[in-house]
Amino acid sequence: MFSDIATARRSALSLSKSLMVATMVIAIGTQFSVITADDFDGDVAVINEYDPYA
């Protein structure tokens, strides 16, 4: 979990490029987290999406 959105975005972009999978920054309360697109189930607020193939 990240408390800073900029740190979460950098981590998601880095993870997306290194794993070559789509990642998302999600908001959980006042915190942010990074998940892969495979783990997304639609019940959280997506802040950013990163696709390494785009």
pLDDT given at position 54: 87
pLDDT given at position 51: 96
Inter-CA distances, 36 with 6, 13, 27, 29, Å: 18, 11, 14, 19
| Structural domain count of the chain | 1
pLDDT tens figures, 12-49? 999 999 999 999 999 999 999 999 999 998 888 999 99
Q: Which domain holds residue 15?
A: 5-50
| HSE, side-chain direction, 13 A CA sphere, residue 23 | 19
Contacts of 39 (CB under 8 A, 6+ apart): none
48 φ/ψ angles, rounded to the nearest 5 degrees = -140, 155
pLDDT given at position 46: 95
pLDDT given at position 43: 85
* pTM recorded for the entire structure: 0.88
